[in-house]
Amino acid sequence: MIDVSTHILQITNAKAIDQLEPVQSLWSGYGEIKRVYLRECKVSSVIVKHIQLPDRNNHPRGWNTNLSHQRKLKSYQVEQVWYEDYAKRTTTNCPVPEIYFTYSEGEELLLIMEDLDFAGYDIRLHHNEVSVVQAKACLGWLASFHANFMNDPATGLWPQGTYWHLDTRPDEWSKMQNAPLKHAAKSIDQKLKEGRFQTIVHGDAKLANFCFNKENEVAAVDFQYVGKGCGMKDVAYLISSCFEEAACEGLEKELLDHYFEKLEIAVDKSIDFQLLKNEWQELYAYAWADFYRFLDGWSPGHWKMHSYSLGITREVLNKLETNEAN
């Protein structure tokens, strides 16, 4: 078993550990995240993510399968690669925690990283309390992130980012109740894969994974499902996590306009931005339908399966049907 305390003291040169504070348990009992307060150290605290296999898989929604288990294991391995090889390539416009130490032993994994609370990003928000300004801050972070990694091969990360990617969710696909969407799932996935412009996506860009400071600037955490993909996957998922159906519909243009404004500023000038924007504007609906497909099999009746998301999904299905007819 990994001696966590010894590693913390060695890499921080702290005099002692004063306190361990639980932050959260990892999904399905795969370990925990703790804040560790340090004595006589240049940083007052660090965040420790310690992954340990559970004695018994205990998925909160009942998805206790070997495939689910293997997906989680890979997600932690991918996160280790992300912090070791990619995190240092982010810019000041899309900050992430600095990684201090990574270590794996058997099927245990240890990540010791910067405490964003100590860095001033100590505000967390829920979907019913986020403002448009704060949502735009998250979209700005995504735009800078996507621009920074545009056309990157994402070596060592997920070949297709996002935790709901179809290739990794056959069990949920088999449980789908929406027959037309189930039939179209592969076509929607293929449309997103075949986009000319691919980047690295965060893969779990929900509001809960953004940390705010008092100036409404944001940093992001949780890179288990980071990988290659269309940036609209992150954008659609973020918006779905921020707002209820009426706001999603009413704010759609304003939010997307803001994202593309920030993307144009950040993207390399050798890229034809208008081609990029045209393609991704079309793929926004496909990204939303792709996530709706996952929810339909994973958690029917989920609060995000509202009339706005259903309407977008139906538009995509109609387009695919028209294309097939032609």
208-231 residue pLDDT tens: 999 999 999 999 999 999 999 999
d(CA 35, CA 44): 10
Q: Across the chain, how many H-helices and E-strands are there?
A: 9, 9
The pTM for the full model equals 0.94
Query: Is the domain 122-326 a CATH 3.90.1200.10 member?
Result: yes
User: What digits encode the pLDDT tens for the residues 114-158?
Assistant: 999 999 999 999 888 999 999 999 999 999 999 999 999 999 999
Between 2-16, 57-71, 101-115, 289-303, the lowest mean confidence (pLDDT) is in 57-71
Asked if domains 1-119 and 122-326 share a fold, the reply is no
The CATH topology of domain 1-119 is Phosphorylase Kinase; domain 1 (3.30.200)
268 burial via Cβ count (<10 Å: 0-12, 13-18, 19+): exposed
227-243 pLDDT per residue, tens: 999 999 999 999 999 99
Ranges of each domain in the chain: 1-119, 122-326
